[in-house]
Chain A
Amino acid sequence: MTTKRRYIALIRKNLGDRLNIREGVAPNELYLSLRRESLGTLPETCSLLTRSFRANFTTLVANDERSLNGTFVLSYVFSVPTDDLFLILQVPVEPRHMEVPSVSHVLESANWFEREVKDWFGIVAFPNIYRLASHPDWPEDVHPMLKDFDPQTSVPRVRGSFDFKHVEGEGVFEIPVGPVHAGIIEPGHFRFSVAGEPIINLEIQLFYAHKGTEKIAEGMSPQRVVFLAERISGDSSFGHAVAFCHCMERLSRCEVPRRAAVIRTMLLELERLYNHTGDIGGILLDVGFAAGAAVALELKERLLQLNELLTGSRLLRGVAAIGGVRRDPEDTPLKRQALADMLVRGRQAFEDLVSLVMSSSSVLDRLETTGILSHTDAYRLGITGIAGRASGMNRDFRRDHPHCAYGPLTFRVHTSGEGDVLARMRVRIDEVRESFSIIEQLQLQDPGEPARTGVVTVPPLQQALGYVEGWRGEIVHWAMTDAEGNIFRWKITDPSFHNWRAITVAVRNNIIPDFPVINKSFNLSYSGNDR
C-alpha cells in the first residue's frame, strides 16, 4: 500500500521526534504512539494531524491496560477520507497521574468524548472536567469502566443536583421537559431557557438509558457480543452488528465471502430505507400534516414487513455473524419477487409521497429556515451522517472508507448547504432514491454462493476498528481481544454521540413549538448515545 508508506514517511519526518509509528492488523490503520515525554504536545499533534491530512476526529477510546503493561491508553481515532486511512494516535496514561491535556480547544468534536472518559475511567482531560455520562447522584470517584470495578457492586447514591446553565433577565424563564416524555420516546432531559417563545439556550442531559453494554461485553466471546451489538440501538440493529463483525473480521484478517458483503450492503440499505421513510413521516407528523405522515408510515411498515420476509426479523436482527451472514435474503423465488416488487411499487409510493410533500406549501413553510445548523457549526462539532451532509459536510463512509460491497457500486453522496429541517429531509429523500438504486444494482449478484466462511478464530491481544455508514451516520467500533481471544475492551461510537450537540446549536433562536420537528429532523438515538 503505497499511500500508507507515504503517510508513514511524512509523519516520521515531521513528528518522528514525538511519536512512534506502527502498522495495525487491518490494512488501513496506522497506529501512532505519542511518547510519554511528549504528552504536552497532544493538542498540537491532534490539530496538526487534522489540518495536514484533512482528517476528521472519529472517536476517542480509553483502555485500561494496567493488567497488560501497567498503563491506561487513550486512542484518538482520525479518519482520512481522501485516502481511506485511519490514524490512531495512542497516548499512554500513568495510573499515578491520570491526566492528559484536553484537545477540545483545537478539536471541539472531542469534547463529549473526553468528558465520558473522565466519568467512566477517571482520566481527566484537563481543563475539560465537566460531567457528562454519570449523573450527579453517582459518586465522583467511582469509575465503572475500570477493570477493578465489579459491575455487580451496588453503588451508593450521593446528594447532587443537575447544574444547568442559567440565563437571567426580564421575561426569561426555564422550561424543563422530560426525562419522561409523552408518547413512546426514549428518556432525556431538556432544559430550555426562553424569552417568550424564542429559545435562548438549551441544555440536554442524557445517559438515562445507560446499560453498560461495553462493560458487559468484556470477557465475552465475540460470537456472543454480536447479539449485544444488535441491541445497542434498535433502529440501527444491523448497522451496529455489521460494524462489530467488521471489526472482528479485520482483527482476525478474515475475508468475508463476496456474497456476504453483497447481502450486508443490501440489508444496510434496507435499514436506511425504513428509517428514512419513517423519519420523513415523523417530520410530517410533527408539523401536523397527518395525511402525508400516514403515507410515509405506511411505506415504512411495508419495508419492515419486507425485512421480516427476507430475514425473519423486522429489525434485521440475527442476520449478521462474524465471517458473513446467517441467512440469504434472496434464497427463494418468493423473496426475490417481494424484493423486486418493492423496487417497483415502493419506489412509486415513495415518489408519490415526495410529490405530495413538496407540493404542500404549508409543510414547506414549516420546514424552511427552521433549525438551521450552519456549515461552520457542523464542521466545528464534527457532525456526521445525514445531519452533517444537510449542512454541507461532504462525508460518507460508504465512499470514503468503502466497506461491505460499496466499493464497486455507483452512487452519489447527496449534500445540501442550507442546514435547515427541509435540507435534512431533502438529503433523506435523495438517499432513499440512491438506496433503491443500490439495491437494484446488488439484486441477484452472485446468488447461491456461500455467504459465510467457516469458524473464525479471533486472535488474542489484537485491536482493530470496524465501521459502517449506518443510516444515521458513521458507526465506528473499536475492539481489543484478551489473551483467550475474548473481548478485552469494546468501544462503541454511535453517530448520535457526535450529533446530540448539534441540536443545542440548531434550536437557538428558534421558537419553542418548532423544537419537536427540529429534534425529529436529527432523530438521534438515546440508547446508542448512552449505551
Chain B
Amino acid sequence: MSDVLTFVLPALLQLVLVLVLAPLICGIIGKTKARFQHRQGAGILQPYYDLAKLLRKEVVISSVASWVFRCTPYLVFASTCLIALLVPTVVVPLPLDRVGDIITVISLFALGRFFVALVGLDTGSAFGGLGASREMSIASIIEPAMMLAIFTAAVTAGSTNLSIIVAKLSSTPASMMNPAHLLAFSGLFIVTMAETGRIPVDNPDTHLELTMIHEAMILEYSGRYLAFVEWSSQMKLVIFLALLSNMFFPLGMAASMSPWALCVGGAAFFAKVIVLAAVVAVVESTNAKLRLFRVPELLMVAFILSLLALILYFIIGA
C-alpha cells in the first residue's frame, strides 16, 4: 500500500501533468507568436481541440506502408511517456529515479527519433526521405551537444541521477549563478530549439514541404496516428523545458509529498515552464529560419558553450 502511495501515485500524477500540460504550452507559444504577427491567433486551448479532432478522425495509410508505420506512433508516444516519468517536474526525489537516469532520457529520445526517421523512409515519399536524412544529420550534432550540457550538471552533482542533480543544486542555490552552469544552460537551450523543431532550425508552421525537417517525416500520418505523434512532440517540448528549468534552476520544487509543498512546487513549475515557453516564442518570432547548412554552425555554438561550461567547472569549480 505504501508503495502505491510513494511511487505509483506520484509517478502517475507526474505523467498526467506532462500529458495535460503539453498541448497548453504549445497553445501559449502559438498565441504569443500570433500576437507578434499582429494577429488575434487561435485560443490557447486550440491544441486540445486539434488532438480531440484527430483522435476521432479516420486513418489513411499508404498501401506501401509496413508495420513500422503503424507501430511508430505508439512507440514514440510510449517512450515519451516513459521520459515524462523520469524528468524532474514538481517533486524531488523523483518517484521513479532508480528506473533511469539522464542517459536513459537521452537514449529514449534517440529511440523515438530512430523510428520516426524510419517512418519517413517507409512510405516511399520523396519528402519523408528528405526529412529523415536531414533529421539524422542534425541529430548527430544535437546529441553530443545535449550530452555535454547535461554532463556539466552531472559533474557538478557527481551523479547522472536527475534526483541527485536537482537535490544537490537545491542545497547550494549559489551555484545556480555559476558561469559554468549558465553556459551549460545556454547550450541546452539551443539544443531545445533544435530538438523540438523550432525556428531557427525548423519551422513548425510551414506548408512548404521542401523546407521541412520534422514535419516532412510525419507528412503521411493522419487521424489518431498523427494525434499521437503530435502529442509526443508537444510533450517533448514540455520535457525539455522541465529539464531546462529544474536541472538548472530547481527553485520552489517540492521536497516532500505534503499538499502544500506540492501546490507550491506545481505553481513554480508552471511559472517556469510558461516563462521559458514565452522565451521560445520570442526567439521564434524575431528570427528567420537558418539556411539548412548553417544549422550545424548553430549547434556547434551549443556544443562549444557546453564544452566551455565543462572546462570552466574544472578550472573554477562548482
Show the binding face of A for B, using Cβ within 8 Å: 173-177, 182-183, 196-197, 284, 286-291, 293-295, 298, 360, 362-363, 365-366, 370, 511-516
User: What 7 A-B pairs come out closest when comparing CB atoms?
Assistant: A288-B289, A294-B37, A289-B288, A513-B211, A182-B207, A175-B126, A362-B288
Is B288 in contact with A360, judged by CB distance below 8 angstroms? Answer: yes
Given contacts A291-B286, A295-B38, contact A366 B208 (CB under 8 A): no
User: How many residues does chain B have at the interface if contact means C-beta atoms less than 8 Å apart?
Assistant: 31
Kindly list chain B residues whose C-beta atoms are within 8 Å of the C-beta of A365: 288, 290-291, 294
Interface pair B126/A298, CB less than 8 Å apart: no
Indicate the member of B33, B205, B207, B289 with the most A CB atoms within 10 Å.
B289
One of A176, A177, A197, A288 near B288 (C-beta < 8 A): A288
Q: Does B258 belong to the interface (CB within 8 Å)?
A: no
The reply to whether A288 and B199 form a contact with Cβ atoms under 8 Å apart is: yes
Per-position binary interface string of chain B over residues 285-297, scored 1 when its CB falls under 8 Å from any chain A CB and 0 otherwise: 1111111111000
Assuming A291-B36, A362-B200, is B210 touching A515 (CB within 8 A)?
yes
Asked if A291 and B209 sit within 8 Å, CB to CB, the answer is no
Shortest Cβ gap from B203 to chain A (Å): 4
In the bound complex, do residue B287 and residue A294 qualify as a contact, i.e. CB atoms below 8 Å apart? Answer: no
Contact between chains at B203 and A288 (CB < 8 Å): yes
A514 CB contacts on chain B under 8 angstroms: 291-292
Contact check, A286 vs B285: say whether CB atoms are below 8 A apart: no
Contact of A176 with B126 in the complex, beta carbons under 8 Å: yes
Q: Does B98 contact A (CB under 8 A)?
A: no
A187 to chain B, nearest CB (A): 15
Task: Please name all residues of chain A whose beta carbon is closer than 8 Å to the beta carbon of B210 when the two chains form the complex.
Answer: 175, 177, 512-513, 515-516
For the complex, is B63 an interface residue (Cβ under 8 Å from A)?
no
Could you say which residues of chain B place their CB within 8 Å of the CB of A291?
Answer: 36-37, 285-286
Rounded to whole Å, the gap between the CB of A282 and the closest CB of chain B is 11
Additional A-B contact list (11), CB under 8 Å, known A177-B126, A182-B207: A175-B127, A175-B130, A175-B210, A288-B199, A289-B289, A294-B36, A294-B37, A298-B38, A365-B291, A365-B294, A511-B292
Whose C-beta in chain B lies nearest to the C-beta of A288?
B289
Residues of A within 8 A of B292 (CB): 197, 511, 513-514
Instruction: Check if B130 sits within 8 Å of A288, measured CB to CB.
Output: no
Instruction: How many A-B residue pairs have C-beta atoms within 8 angstroms? Tell me.
Output: 83
Closest to A183 in B: B207
Q: Are A290 and B294 in touch, CB under 8 angstroms?
A: no
- Interfacial chain A residues near B211, Cβ < 8 Å: 286, 513, 516
Say whether A363 contacts B293, CB under 8 Å.
no
A residues near B294, Cβ cutoff 8 Å:
365
A499 to chain B: closest CB distance in Å?
20
Contact B209 A182 (CB under 8 A): yes
B32 CB → nearest A CB, Å: 11
> Which chain B residues border A183 with CB–CB below 8 Å?
207-208
Interface status of B56 (Cβ within 8 A of chain A): no
- Is B208 a contact partner of A182 (Cβ separation < 8 A)? yes
Cα of A286 to Cα of B199 in the assembled complex, Å: 12
B206 at the interface (CB under 8 A from A): yes
In angstroms, Cα B121 to Cα A104, docked, is 43
Residue of A nearest to B286 (CB): A291
Q: Determine whether the beta carbon of A287 is less than 8 Å from that of B126.
A: no
Contact indicator A288/B286 (Cβ below 8 Å): no
- Chain B contacts with A in 183-230, Cβ cutoff 8 A: 199-200, 203, 205-211
Q: A182-B207, A286-B208, A294-B38 are in contact. Are A362 and B126 (CB under 8 A)?
A: no
Q: Chain A nearest CB: distance from B38 CB in Å?
A: 5
> Could you tell me if B287 and A362 are in contact, using CB atoms closer than 8 angstroms?
yes
A364 closest partner in B (C-beta): B288
On whether the beta carbons of A366 and B126 are closer than 8 Å, the reply is no
B207 touches A366 (CB 8 A): no
Bound CA–CA A254/B288 (angstroms):
52
Contact (Cβ within 8 A) B126 A290: no
The interface centre, meaning the residue of A175, A286, A288, A370 with most chain B CB atoms within 10 A of its CB, is: A288
Q: Kindly provide the distance from the CB of B113 to the nearest chain A CB, expressed in whole angstroms.
A: 20
Residue of A nearest to B126 (CB): A175
- Report the separation of the CA atoms of residues A430 and B39 in the bound assembly, to the nearest whole angstrom: 28
A194, closest chain B residue (CB): B130
Contact, CB under 8 Å: B200 / A177:
no
Tell whether, in the assembled complex, residue B205 and residue A290 are in contact, meaning their CB atoms are under 8 Å apart: yes
A464–chain B nearest beta-carbon distance, Å: 43
- A284 x B288 contact (CB < 8 A): yes
Decide: A290 and B291 in contact? CB cutoff 8 A.
Answer: no
Pairwise interchain contact A511-B288, C-beta atoms closer than 8 A: no
Give Cα distance in the complex from A238 to B249, angstroms. Answer: 61
Whole-angstrom distance between the Cβ of B236 and the nearest chain A Cβ: 20
Query: Given A284-B288, A288-B200, A512-B210, do A197 and B293 touch, yes or no (CB 8 Å)?
Result: yes
A249 CB to closest chain B CB (Å) equals 43
Checking B39, B133, B134, B206 against A288 with a beta-carbon cut-off of 8 angstroms, the contacting residue is B206
CB contact list, B34-54 vs A, under 8 A: 36-39
Separation in Å of the B26 CB from the closest CB of chain A?
16
Bound form: Cα–Cα A511–B130 in Å: 12
Minimum CB distance partner of B291 in chain A: A366
In angstroms, Cα B212 to Cα A288, docked, is: 11
Closest to B209 in A: A182
List of B residues within 8 angstroms of A289 by Cβ: 287-289
**How close is B138's CB to chain A, nearest CB, in angstroms?**
12
Q: Which residues of A contact B37 (CB under 8 A)?
A: 290-291, 293-294
Residues of A within 8 Å of B290, CB to CB, are: 362, 365-366
Minimal Cβ-Cβ distance residue in B for A176: B126
Q: Provide the residues of chain A in CB contact with B286, threshold 8 Å.
A: 291, 360
